[in-house]
Chains A and B, each alone.
Chain A
Amino acid sequence: MNWTWFYKLGSPKWFYETANKLLPWFLWAGVLMLVVGSVWGLVFAPEDYQQGNSFRIIYLHVPSAILAQSCYMMMAVAAIINLVWKMKLADMFIASAAPIGAAFTFLALFTGAVWGKPTWGTWWVWDARLTAMLVLLFLYFGVIALRSALDNIDLASRASAILVLVGVVNIPIIKYSVEWWNTLHQPATFTLTEKPAMPSEMWIPLLVMVIGMYCFFTAVALMRIKNEILLRERRTKWVQVIIAEEGKR
């Protein structure tokens, strides 16, 4: 297997330039799919025979919940890479992804609460799935707080990588909570092995939203990593050239 791409990741300059090329594609694909998916889900999808129109919240709730969890898994992979190979870029990814993950975890919790009111009759229950999601939000807050509390960048990098790895236990708990315990929360909509239980007019817009959310996440993560690179590599010649050019405007 050819590993040159992995070594290239060690070069912030190469990454910055590649991110610049990829960014508009991910951003516009993401925005387009989010708009199309929302309109499709809000206007064209049929209503649910039990939940009526309140089920349309699913098109926002499920994509943000999926993203909140996979963002954490990506951070965990970055944490391992950071601890084993001390790759600067992996640490920049953790720093960049944590606030985005927190935002989407909050959105999943919020839309879940708003959806719960008409469906379960309550905004919140201390149920396994909901509580584990709340723990995920606090894990994100923990990573952000830890990083801002430590001025030493190497220490912050190692400490947050370890915190991310410890918090990984929460991810299978979120995923299997609906199977392990009795819960109000309904089971997963998408599984790898089975067809969704809903008709295709309902789940196709949901899939569009999920993919759109991933593209949007990639775009904003790249934007944040670029910012991190500018800050941390400010002593290098190539960053100073960029700064000098853009600072004139």
Chain B
Amino acid sequence: MNFETFTEFLLMGGHGLYVWLSYGVGFFIILLVYIQPVLARRSIIQELSQRLRREAQNKASDPKNAQERKVVAQEITGGNE
């Protein structure tokens, strides 16, 4: 142990501000680098699972409706789809 008392440890021989500022910002950045992909994963899964459910609903809906939708779409685009 290089320090006699805890106060000495905090003061760092007069360089406390520099040392603790460095380590504070370092800790914050490392935390940020870790948290960012965790949050990103959460929103990716949420978004993709919503899309998946929507697609499943469309498929499950009446095939006759789907046929009608296709006809309407063809009329709008003039069959050039």
Contact = CB atoms under 8 A, between A and B. Distances in A.
The answer to whether A and B come from one shared complex is: yes
Interface of A: 34, 38, 42-47, 52-54, 56-57, 60-61, 64, 99-100, 103-104, 106-107, 110-111, 114-115, 117-118, 216, 220, 223-224, 226-227, 230-231, 234, 239-240, 243-244, 246-248
B22 A220 contact: no
Interface string B10-31: 0011111011011101100110
Nearest to A217: B33
B46 interface: yes
Secondary structure at chain B's binding surface: helix, strand, loop or mixed?
helix
User: Which A-B residue pairs are the 10 nearest by beta carbons?
Assistant: A247-B49, A53-B12, A54-B15, A223-B37, A53-B13, A111-B22, A60-B26, A243-B48, A57-B22, A52-B13
Contacts of A38: 23
Interface of B: 1-3, 9, 12-16, 18-19, 21-23, 25-26, 29-30, 32-34, 36-38, 40-41, 44-46, 48-53
Contacts of A52: 12-15
Given A111-B26, A220-B37, A53 B49 contact: no
A43 B6 CA distance: 10
Contacts of B46: 247
Given A43-B3, A53-B19, A103-B33, 8 more contacts: A42-B23, A46-B2, A56-B12, A107-B25, A118-B18, A216-B30, A243-B45, A244-B52
Contacts of B53: 247
A61 B14 contact: no
Given A52-B14, A240-B52, A103 B22 contact: no
A110 B9 CA distance: 22
